[in-house]
Amino acid sequence: MNISLSERAANMPPFHVMEVLERAQELEREGRNIIHLEIGEPDFPTAPHVCEAAAAAMCSGNTKYTHSLGIQELREAIVEDYMHKYGVVISPEQVIITSGTSPAMLLLFIALINPGDEVIMSNPHYACYPNFVRAVSGVPDFIYTDSKSVFILQPEQVAARINKKTKAILINSPSNPTGHVMPQGTLRGMADVAGDVPIISDEIYQGLVYDGEDHTILEFTDNAFVLNGFSKLYAMTGWRLGYLIAPKAYVRTLQKVQQNLFISTNAFVQYAGIAALRGPQDMIKEMISTYDERRRYMLKRLRGMGFEVEGEPGGAYYILADARRFSEDSLELSRRILEDTGVAVTPGIDFGNGAEGHLRFSYANSREKIEEGMDRLQTYLAIKTGTFI
């Protein structure tokens, strides 16, 4: 059969971390014991009061379509959250509730990008960013960052790159894949150099900060779009609940795209989001403390094996480690580690060629599993290099 596909779909690269996960799951079905250090998913359960709120909403009949922008009470809770944490004043009319942060990104790029428009982003970057841009016929404009700047995009780099085709500047803090957090001065500088170009700030790991302060781009400019959600901070990945904060002038267009593509977000899931924001926050404090302890342990172990990690990743739950001492081919190295040791890690090439030769390690797993994974990896690398640590 002659299969005809669009070029943009046929040329889209795989999401390597998902392929690592899927191969790891195949090995598990064969009886192998796999240590998962690849996937960015909290190992904590969703808080009981959040689950109870969703169940109560379903039992009360809240299973119908909602307003396309989302339930008013949830939008108000998000506004309250940004005011409480950052002193930022926004209105519920600026908030669009989505079925996860990825749909929010799709809505935004459809609304913003015309064919040939450019979006400035760092390299390394979250794996899917350029694919979203290309899907709407936009052009990713990569700025290479390096370990000296702990892979943080700098305002002067952006200022030198902005041109008449630039439609947006995309930033991500705390960062996936590096775990680094943009300092307040860098965010302010980014707002200053952007001028009339809007900043898109992916803040999905907001709140998961261990060193330094947590900030939002909205503290420094109104000309910004914020992508956020409940997956990471509230351990709600499978709930698929996110949101987009946008300048008021863009909301009607974004709403029309939402109506056509997604109609609305699940009603009972939105009630769970209200409970997450307005309910007890004790579980979050416990999670952050646990992640921080794992972070410090994994950093020490990786450096002890010969991986290079610049700076102290201060947020999210990732470490991007330079593995070029062992191999320049991160995809093949990650495959060999999985097949030979049963430890699943993410190849750096997933995050752009600026991360080639690196591996991303997630510490969103138990301390016991992390210890076992580090032990297996150390033994493997010792045999590979002939150096026993």
| pLDDT given at position 148 | 84
CB-CB contact of 180 with 146 (8 Å): no
* Rounded distance between C-alpha atoms, residue 217 and residue 175, angstroms: 14
* Rounded distance between C-alpha atoms, residue 284 and residue 47, angstroms: 9
| pLDDT given at position 240 | 96
Q: For residue 288, what is the enclosing H or E element?
A: helix 282-305
State the 10-residue block means of pLDDT for the chain, 389 residues long: 81 91 96 96 95 98 96 98 96 98 96 97 96 96 92 96 97 96 96 97 96 91 98 96 98 97 97 98 94 97 95 94 96 96 97 96 97 97 70
| pLDDT given at position 387 | 60
Which residue, 41, 42, 60, 43, is CA-closest to 271?
60
CATH numbers and ranges of domains, the chain: 7-45+282-384 (3.90.1150.10), 48-278 (3.40.640.10)
Instruction: List the end-to-end C-alpha distance of the chain, in Å, as a whole number.
Output: 56
| pLDDT given at position 386 | 63
Going by the DSSP 8-state scheme, the letter that residue 326 receives in this structure is T
| pLDDT given at position 12 | 87
* Rounded distance between C-alpha atoms, residue 282 and residue 10, angstroms: 46
Chain-centre distance for alpha carbon 244: 14
Q: Give the Å distances, CA to CA, from 288 to 105, 366, 374.
A: 26, 13, 21
